[in-house]
Structure 1
């Protein structure tokens, strides 16, 4: 929940930013600057989920969410459009990419696949799909080390596709040279890993709450109480 705490921990600073303008030293007070009442900090806490949202008075926003093993964050601009508050990520995040890296000799006569980070460590939990020269594809996942074909698989692999929807990972079909006794190594370049693109998402009022709607679903946010920070 560290990301949620980071967002919610900004509430006191936000409260200071939206205080009404003070009178000048002269007898005439400075003109009041209207602040959109939606400006402020919001939170959502559910089973295994914690999220924070800040709408800044300058038209920017900050967002963070933790649910299970997924952490995501976003920032950008917000604007009123009719009854909605529309969000635009700025800058637009760049999704992770996966590319073929190199072929190495294996320790035995089997063919294997590795997916590694720039530091050379194997990446676990990424789904993969193997397309063969004939028949139906095989779906599996890398567990943090070399992945090998089932012992009874006699077809010749032609393509591999890596994917993880929650982190916007989708390599598309990558050509596969599946020679016995070799390891095909693929490189995952993180780019803006963990940064979600909220362009097209929007907020709507539901009583005293805000509802964030995005393709993945809806999140109900309640206004945070700065006095509780």
Structure 2
């Protein structure tokens, strides 16, 4: 268990406060509370991320631990539906039956290179021919720890393979293992997906209570 921020070394600066980042179509914020808790949020396009947990100084950097740890989403194979006259396709559906956009996919064939693409929010037509047959699809979305195993495909024109998303804590990112460096009013967050710089908010909060 991570300790509270008050247990930091005496020579560390006070990092508690609100930090924000904004650019075209993206807004993000981090709140480091004096009791050692943190809140994180990001909005970009149709994607929303949140996180909460604990933070502490470890040496010259701040380390994060999500608390509670989010439950990762999963994907399983569903039924195969008839689509007369249409090429073979696949769909990724949420529990309410809607197409899930923004999820990366990889299609492996019996020979040759895999196809890497993404779900745009509707049926995905799987390219292939008699000498280039799709054998499996793998779905992934790194920020929310979505990673399916290779799921078998049986490509036949006139059919649609349905896959089902079990969301878990979809949209809640696991910050455990992430860390930040603070220099003056600038906080640089390091995650597996990359790094982002935040600037301390003076005289107010942008994250709400």
Higher helix share: 1
Number of corresponding residues: 193
Of the three residues 29, 51, 75, the one matched with 1:52 is: 29
Secondary structure in structure 1 of the residue aligned to 2:119: strand
Q: Is the 8 A contact 2:142 2:193 kept in 1?
A: no
What value does the CA root-mean-square deviation take over the aligned residues?
A: 2.4
- Give unpaired runs (5+ residues) of structure 2: 1-12
Of the three residues 60, 68, 71, the one matched with 1:91 is: 68
2:129 aligned residue = 153
Partners of 2:89 and 2:67 in 1: how far apart?
Answer: 40
Q: Give the drift of 1:227.
A: 4.8
1:79 aligned residue = 56
Q: TM-score under structure 2 normalisation?
A: 0.80
Partners of 1:118 and 1:139 in 2: how far apart?
Answer: 25
Secondary structure in structure 2 of the residue aligned to 1:226: coil
Q: Does 1:65 align with 2:17?
A: no
| Structure 1 segments (4+ residues) deviating >6 Å | none
- Give unpaired runs (5+ residues) of structure 1: 1-35
Q: Which protein shows a greater Rg?
A: 1
Q: Does 1:198 align with 2:175?
A: yes
Partners of 2:48 and 2:204 in 1: how far apart?
Answer: 27
Distance change (3 Å), C-alpha of 1:101 and 1:89: same
1:177 aligned residue = 154
Q: TM-score under structure 1 normalisation?
A: 0.74
